[in-house]
């Protein structure tokens, strides 16, 4: 059974209003975002479905979905939305929230992002070959590495590969920025989750107290 959650809907509407300046309530389900989305054929929920799910508070399903992870951030949906909702911005923000909540996200997007940022934090500038190696190690899927191994040949022939990564001068600062910001985001999500759990507890307690008195909770 699908349970709609008005509390979650209100909480995430406020959160997205604050962070992306986009109101999910504006969506009237015209489907323009889905029609123009080049990656929707790999999604589990279409962009307009995601918008509806946010409206009714099915936030956990959205945060665990493939859709927000596989969004290519081409911004076509945002450009074409007749209600001027920044849909790609919402997808981006939900992705960052899923990251900060340390959810086990589907597909290899998280592996890629972590390989990329890990390499950048270590060397300051992106060492492409090193990043690719870390990514394929992270996926634990030799098939994927084999599919792209063919790319190495033209890259080597054309002299487009840097074999030994070099540390750029600002690398230490980059690594500090990476750590500080991710710690901050994780702490924020933890404290929000805690506050939400407490208010839920208080509601339940209040509800049962009211029930004992014979009142119907609103």
Residues at the contact surface with another protein, assessed by CB under 8 A:
19, 38-39, 41-42, 70, 72-76, 78-80, 92-93, 95-96, 99-100, 107-109, 111-113, 116-117, 120, 124-126, 128, 132, 135, 144, 147-148, 150-151, 154-155, 158-162, 168-171, 173-174, 176-178, 180-182, 184-185
Nearer to another protein by C-beta: 25 or 108?
A: 108
Nearer to another protein by C-beta: 52 or 113?
A: 113
- Least distance to another protein, CB of residue 176, Å: 7
For residue 91, what are its two tokens? 């997808």
- Least distance to another protein, CB of residue 65, Å: 14
Nearer to another protein by C-beta: 56 or 117?
A: 117
Which distant-in-sequence residues (6+ apart) come within 8 Å of 184 by Cβ? none
Nearest of 98, 97, 107, 33 to residue 70 by alpha carbon: 107
Nearer to another protein by C-beta: 1 or 164?
A: 164
Integer Cα distance of 7 and 98 in angstroms: 19
Integer Cα distance of 147 and 140 in angstroms: 14
Integer Cα distance of 165 and 123 in angstroms: 7
Cβ–Cβ under 8 Å, residues 216 and 132:
no
- Least distance to another protein, CB of residue 132, Å: 7
Nearer to another protein by C-beta: 7 or 173?
A: 173
For residue 133, what are its two tokens? 């190696």
């Amino acid at each position: 059974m699908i349970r709609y959650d008005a509390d979650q809907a209100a909480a995430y509407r406020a959160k997205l209003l604050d962070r992306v300046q986009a109101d999910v309530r504006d969506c009237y389900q015209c489907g323009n975002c889905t029609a123009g989305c080049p990656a929707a054929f790999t999604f589990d929920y279409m962009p307009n479905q995601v918008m509806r799910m946010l409206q009714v508070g099915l936030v956990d399903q959205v945060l665990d979905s493939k859709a927000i992870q596989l969004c290519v951030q081409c911004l076509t949906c945002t450009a074409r939305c007749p209600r001027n909702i920044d849909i790609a911005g919402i997808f981006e923000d939900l992705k960052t929230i899923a990251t900060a909540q340390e959810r086990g996200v589907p597909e290899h997007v998280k592996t890629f992002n972590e390989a990329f940022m890990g390499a950048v934090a270590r060397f300051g500038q992106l060492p492409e070959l090193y990043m690719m190696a870390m990514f394929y190690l992270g996926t634990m899927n030799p098939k994927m590495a084999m599919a792209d191994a063919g790319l190495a040949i033209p890259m080597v022939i054309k002299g487009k590969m840097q074999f030994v990564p070099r540390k750029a001068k600002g690398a230490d600062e980059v690594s500090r920025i990476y750590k500080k910001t991710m710690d901050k985001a994780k702490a924020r999500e933890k404290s929000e989750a805690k506050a939400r759990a407490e208010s839920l507890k208080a509601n339940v307690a209040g509800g049962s107290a009211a029930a004992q008195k014979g009142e119907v909770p609103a």
